[in-house]
Structure formats: C-alpha cells, structure tokens
Structure 1
C-alpha cells in the first residue's frame, strides 16, 4: 500500500499530465478565424490601373520629393477623381495611391500623410 504522500504525489503528477495533454490538444486545433467587418465593402468603379500618372511622376522625383511640387501635382490629378478618391466605403482611395506608388516607384508616405487635406484623410479637398 502506498503512503499518503506518495499517493498525493502520484495524483498530482497524473493531474498535471492530463492538464498538459488538454492544453496541447487545444493548441493543435485549427486556428480560429476572426470575422472582422471591414469598412471597405464596394469595389472601385474607376480603373485606376489605366490612369496616366505622368503629371505626378514627371514632377515628383527622388531623392528629394519636393513636398510642394509633389503635393500640387498629386492634388491636381487626385481631384480629377475627387468623388472616388475620397469615398472610403470603396477601395478607390487605396487603389489610386497604390497605382501611383507603382507608377513612380514611390516609397510609402510620399503622398499620403503629407498631401492629405484636413484631418479627415481626404485625398482631395
């Protein structure tokens, strides 16, 4: 017959082993997919991949990226599509800036954050 301290020790080892198995099994499950409702729900009705970005790319050049020249050119082109580039219920603002960044090989931050109008993140006033 086991002593009570040996029996208590064996019980604790068994409980810890079972707990370890339970935690390991929990970790092996498929990851839960969290369903976030994203505010962008509509595609863009403008095909920004075919826009001529040369009015910006001809003026806004590395390495200095002159803020006044870059932003003036940016605003002139963005405002041609003002309704679309300011509609954050669509993907339009993201597509416009993404295709512009590709056309001019611009790093992030050359336009957005520097050329926005006001505190509401509009790309065109």
Structure 2
C-alpha cells in the first residue's frame, strides 16, 4: 500500500475516533466536562503555550493568574503525594466554571495559559492534572449545569 493509502487510512481512523469521542460524551451532564485534550495541556514545562505558538496575548478572556482560587489549587496539589480528592476537587472548583473556554484551547489558548499559571508559576509537576484528575474517557466531569 502506498503512502497515499496509509494517509487515507490514518485520516479515516482519526475522523472516526473524533466522532466516537463526541458521541461518547456524557448526556447527563449536558457536556460539562474538561476534555482529556485540555487536561493534556498540563504537561507544559517552562514556556507559555502562547509564546510557543505565537498566539497574541490577551486572547483568553480569563486572567487565571489573578483568580483567587489559583492559590487553593496550587496548595492542594503540592508534593510529595497530592491527594486526588483534595487536588482534583480544588481544580474542579477553580476550572469548571470556565470549561467551555478551556476546551476551546485551539482557538483561545485558555487551557495552556491556565496550566502555565498553575504548573509553572505554582511549581507543580508537569502532567499532574492529566494523570490525577480524570473521570473516564471524556475527561474531567464538571457535574450538572447550575439550576
């Protein structure tokens, strides 16, 4: 099979995977979750994603570094062994109100900026949230929409 055939098969696999993930989204929480892709942005090490991608500053409408809950997240997730319940609970309380912006990282850089502020400035382990905080195949469940 030539490279065109392999490329076509790869394209179809990716397309079908995207459709499968979209259809597997939990119906009972109205899509209120932080995606695995957004959580993967917690693998950031030293440089802000905006600087790496050349995204203009100010694209994300939320200034996470100025949010009062960021210190709670950092303090709840400190080494040596952060508790999943404590760390992820603090992270959910901080991030879930912005789940829609965080999941749109490709267009606004919010997930990358948020994790830069938490991981790098808070001196936490890269990948902590993608490793510790997930509720299944979709990502981190933010629960039902407020009434």
Aligned to 2:76: 59
Higher helix share: 2
- Aligned pairs for 1:91-102 (under 5 A) are 91-102=109-120
Q: Deviations over 1:6-52 (max 9, x none)?
A: xxxxxxxxxxxxxxxxxxxxxxxxxxxxxxxx8x8992121223223
Higher strand share: 2
- Computing the radius of gyration from Cα coordinates, the structure with the larger value is 1
Return closer, same or farther for 1:122/1:60 CA change in 2, 3 Å cut-off: closer
How far is the alpha carbon of 1:72 from its aligned partner? 1.1
Q: What TM-score comes out, normalization by structure 1 length? A: 0.55
Within the candidate set 99, 106, 110, 1:82 is matched to 99
Instruction: State the distance in 1 between where 2:59 and 2:140 align.
Output: 18
Return closer, same or farther for 1:123/1:49 CA change in 2, 3 Å cut-off: farther
Unpaired runs of 5+ in structure 2? Answer: 1-52
How far is the alpha carbon of 1:123 from its aligned partner? 8.0
Within the candidate set 40, 45, 61, 2:61 is matched to 45
Q: Using CA pairs under 8 Å that are at least 6 residues apart, name the structure with larger relative contact order, 1 or 2.
A: 2
How far is the alpha carbon of 1:76 from its aligned partner? 1.1
Q: Cα RMSD over matched residues?
A: 2.9
